[in-house]
Structures are given as C-alpha cells and as structure tokens.
Amino acid sequence: METTAIPGLLVVHLPVHADNRGWFKENWQRRKAVAAGVPDFEPVQNNISFNGSRGTTRGIHAEPWDKYVSVAQGRVFGAWVDLRQGATFGRVVTREVGPDTAIYVPRGVGNAFQTLADGTAYTYLVDDHWSVDNQGDYRFLNLADETVAIGWPIPLVDVELSDKDLNHPRLGSVEPFVPAPILVVGSTGQLGRALVDLLEAKAMPYQAVGRDVLDLSNPPAWGEDIRSGNGLRRYRAVVNAAAYTAVDEAEAPTGRSAAWAVNSTGVSALAAACGAANVPFLHVSTDYVFDGGLPLERAYSVDSPVAPLSVYGQSKAAGEAAATSVRRHWLVRTSWVIGRGPNFVMTMERLAAQDVDPRVVNDQVGRLTFAEDLAEGILHLVDTAAPFGTYHLTGAGTPASWATIARWVFEAVGADPDRVIPVSTTDYVGSRTGVAPRPANSSLDLSKIRATGFTPRDHKVSVMERGWRRSAE
C-alpha cells in the first residue's frame, strides 16, 4: 500500500493470479486490507461503471462517503482532487490504474477517470447508500479546470463526455467539503457543555442535542428516522454525553426506573441506531461499574471485570454492554467529573470562604476529571480515528481521597488545609438511609489513552491552579 500527496488517499496493490483461462484477484479482502493500513470502512454498496470505448471520461465527483475504486477490466487514467477544506484543497494525484491496483478515496476527495482501452469496467465500493437526501453533499469540479490542470492522456476535445460533466464549476466556485459533523447527545449536561465549548473553539462541525430533542429515557419519541439509523448516517460520530447521574436517588424506586431507562434502555437504542447507520459511537461510562475492591495502590485496567455495587453502577454497566455491541465504538470510562454547575471543589471553595470546617470522606480514593479535559480526550479519540475499544480517561497524577482533595482546594484558595476534617464513609453516612454504596478505589489505569497520544493533566496541578474555575466559566 502507498500513501499519496492527498491525505487519506491510498494506493493498494492487488495480486492478480493469471493462467491460460484469464485472471483472478481478491478485489476487497477486509482482513488483508485492514492489516495493510486501509481503513475498515465497511462498504454497503457496490457500483460498476461500464465504458464502451477508449477515451470515455467521467468526473470530477466528490461524494459524502468513502469509496474503494478499482478496475475489473481494461485500464484507466485516474485523477483525484482534494475538495476538502484545508491546506490541501485543490491538490491533485493522478495514476494509471489496471486490475492490479485499487484506490481508497476518502470522503470529499473528487474522483475522475479516463479509459485507456475499449470495454473498461470501473468499480466502486462505498460505505453509505445513495439517497435523494444526501445529494446536496456532493461536490463537482470541471474536468478542464485550469487551476488543477490535469494532464489527461487523451485531450478532452477528443473524448466522450456527459453534458453534466462539461458544465461542472471551476475550482474557484467549489465550496470545500467540511468534515462530517459530530453529534453530541446530552448537550446541556456538564460534559455536553464542555464538548460544545471545545468544538466551537476548534471550529469543528457539530450538532448538539439536549433532552428536548433526543430523550434517552424515551426512544419511541425519537422517530423512525433516528431509531432506524437513517438520520445518523451523515455524522462523523455520535458522542453520548447524556446519563442519569443521581447516584443516591437511583436507589429509590422512581430513581431506579429512571436510571435504567436512561443508562441502559436508552443507550441500547442509541447504540443499535449507530450500528444500523454504521457510524462510530462514543459512550461515556464510569468508575462505578467496579466494586472498588482492588488494593488502593492498584488501578483498574480497561479489561477488569465489572462488579457494580449500586443501582447507578449496574445501569451504567448494562449501558456498557449495549455500547460495546456496536463494532465501531469507543467506550470511555471516567471518574469524579468536575464541570459547570455545583461540584465538589467549588463547594469546598465556598466552605473555605465561609469559615466552615467540612467533614470529608477519607477512605474513597481516585482522581478528579475536569470536564474540559474529558472533552478534549474524547475529541482526540474521534479526531485521530483512534482504534475502537475501551479507554479510561481521568485526571492523571497520584490518586487521592476526597479529604485530601478538599485540603488541596483549601490550600489553593489560601485557607488552612487542616480545617478539613477527614472521616470514614461509615461515619459520614451515619444513620442516613438510601445512600448508594461507593467504590473505595476509583483509580483507573490510563496507559491505553496515553498510547493514543493524549496526555491527561495532573488532577492535583489542576486543583492548585484552580482549574475548576476554567470548567465553571
């Protein structure tokens, strides 16, 4: 396989086995192609263009899907033009292609060819179905555009062209393709808001929906377009930042029903829709799927078996099972999220200012995760097309108890950290009922997310630099 001057445009060499009868080749063999570095794009449609005479020329067409093109018979001069927004807009790659070569063409790259032999068949594997709805996402470029100046072997005045291809616009009139948008579900929560802020800052196309548009607790209200997956096909990925997170309320009958409706049933429906649409699904889960029984000096790996203690944890574990049933998924577990709205560190800051000496649990250990950092790591996975699978994403650094973190906050705001009174979970809960059990050890191993090139921030450094202020603004 070869890379080219157009990012993502790949040349694939195919063994052709010939004998006295003719020849045979494996045009698309998923395992071999993926091992060679071709994206596992899961084609859903196969098209064939038959061209009766030498010199037939078609293009330049860029569609809203990835495609894998090859020659079944004859030879062509292929030309590809990057019509995507960015520094390579207008860049050209040309190559003569026969049965021994295939080209992987990413979304937004224009495809054209000129036949060099009579009776040439040109084939396309594509990863989405053509429909009337996505015609507006096409881009076209005139074959004779002077800017890209393709050196056609046979002059265009001497070849067969369609009227449509003759009238396509010049490069200066082509609106560049932008990346497919990311769909954020749960846009009003602390993580959803952090994701929207970051997407805005990075100028990445997105659509964000709240409960008023897509209520995870009520999949029948989504409409057939979403439930079937058809309404999700145009997205680059679906990121589920929605969840029922009232941990204690989930222990009561009404809360239990709500937690399971959102965290399990709703996630299952959304995962099924993403699977049907063949769109990557990123789902956010929690340390509460573990029982916290590991020794405190150890962290839970991505492969550790789940054993939730609470109704909330059980419903999230069920949601994980649904999310991971989608082959193209990222499951991101996190812990102790601090974002906009009431949160632990802002409460400790307020108590420090009010001269209150708080009683804080000292036998639950983990790491804080600031919502903006979690959002950054999530978009890193999507934007770099990181391998699918399960990741842990929290703040980095030494795990600490809630009491220790409270002391950091007091110190950061200039208050005496010794005012924090450490207590056991048992003493803190006292005689109260309906309090969900918490994991004693919420430390998650971060080696897999680091291997993708993302480095989480140290949670103590973020606290001492008053990082919660950034998340709250």
CA distance 358 to 350: 11
What is residue 340's predicted lDDT score, i.e. its pLDDT? Answer: 84
pLDDT digits (tens, 9 = 90+) for 212-247: 999 999 999 999 989 998 889 889 999 999 999 999
Asked whether the beta carbons of 103 and 11 are under 8 A apart, the reply is yes
Cα–Cα dist 61/141, whole Å:
7
How far apart (Å, rounded) are the C-alpha atoms in residues 296 and 254?
34
Please classify residue 399 by burial: count the beta carbons closer than 10 Å to its beta carbon, then call 0-12 exposed, 13-18 middle and 19+ buried. Answer: buried
Domain 182-472 classification at class level: alpha beta
Instruction: Report whether pLDDT(174) > 80.
Output: yes
Radius of gyration of the chain (CA): 27
Question: CB-based contacts of 219: which residues, under 8 Å, 6+ apart?
Answer: 227, 265, 266, 269, 270
124 is catalytic: yes
Q: Is the dihedral of CA 284, 286, 290, 293 positive or negative?
A: positive
Identity of the amino acid at 217: S
Long-range contacts of 159-168 (CB under 8 A, 24+ apart): 159/55, 159/56, 159/57, 159/114, 160/53, 160/55, 160/56, 160/57, 161/57, 162/58, 165/57, 165/58, 165/59, 166/142, 167/142, 168/60, 168/140, 168/141, 168/142, 168/143
Residue 61 annotated in active site: yes
* Per-residue confidence (pLDDT) for residue 431, from 0 to 100: 76
Task: Indicate the pLDDT class of residue 113, thresholds 50, 70 and 90.
Answer: very high
Q: What is the pLDDT of residues 262-308, one digit of tens each?
A: 999 999 999 999 999 889 999 999 999 999 999 988 999 999 999 99
Return the bridge partners of 62, or none. Answer: 139
pLDDT range class, residue 41, cuts 50, 70, 90: confident
Residue 61 to residue 109: CA distance in whole angstroms: 8
Q: Is the predicted pLDDT of residue 341 greater than 70, yes or no?
A: yes
At residue 136 the predicted structure's pLDDT band, cuts being 50, 70 and 90, is: low
At 185, the pLDDT band (50, 70, 90 cuts) reads very high
CATH: 2.60.120.10, 3.30.70.141, 1.10.730.10, 3.30.450.20. Which one for 2-173?
Answer: 2.60.120.10
Supply the pLDDT for residue 134.
Answer: 57
> What is the pLDDT confidence band of residue 40, given thresholds at 50, 70 and 90?
confident
Mean pLDDT of all residues belonging to the chain: 94
The bridge status of strand 109-115 relative to strand 57-62 is antiparallel
pLDDT the model gives residue 132: 61
Whether the per-residue pLDDT at 470 is higher than 60: the answer is: no
- Give 45's Cβ-side CA count (13 Å radius): 12
The pLDDT assigned to 473 comes to 52
Is the pLDDT at 42 greater than 90? The verdict is: no
Cα–Cα distance measured from residue 49 to residue 123, given in angstroms and rounded to the nearest whole number: 6
Q: Please check the confidence at residue 471 and state whether its pLDDT lies above 80.
A: no
Determine which one of 104, 122, 124, 391 is catalytic.
Answer: 124
The single-letter DSSP state of residue 446 is: -
- Name the token pair of 402: 């809630």
Q: Which helix (H) or strand (E) holds 423?
A: strand 421-423
pLDDT of residue 133: 61
Query: Is it the case that residue 100 has pLDDT exceeding 90?
Result: yes
Whether the domain at 2-173 and the domain at 182-472 fall into the same CATH topology: no
Count of CB atoms situated within 10 Å of the CB of 201: 10
Nearest Cα to 245, choosing from 300, 194, 286? 286
Residue 186 has pLDDT above 60, yes or no: yes
Domain extents in the chain: 2-173, 182-472
Return the minimum-mean-pLDDT range out of 6-10, 139-143, 342-346, 448-452.
Answer: 342-346
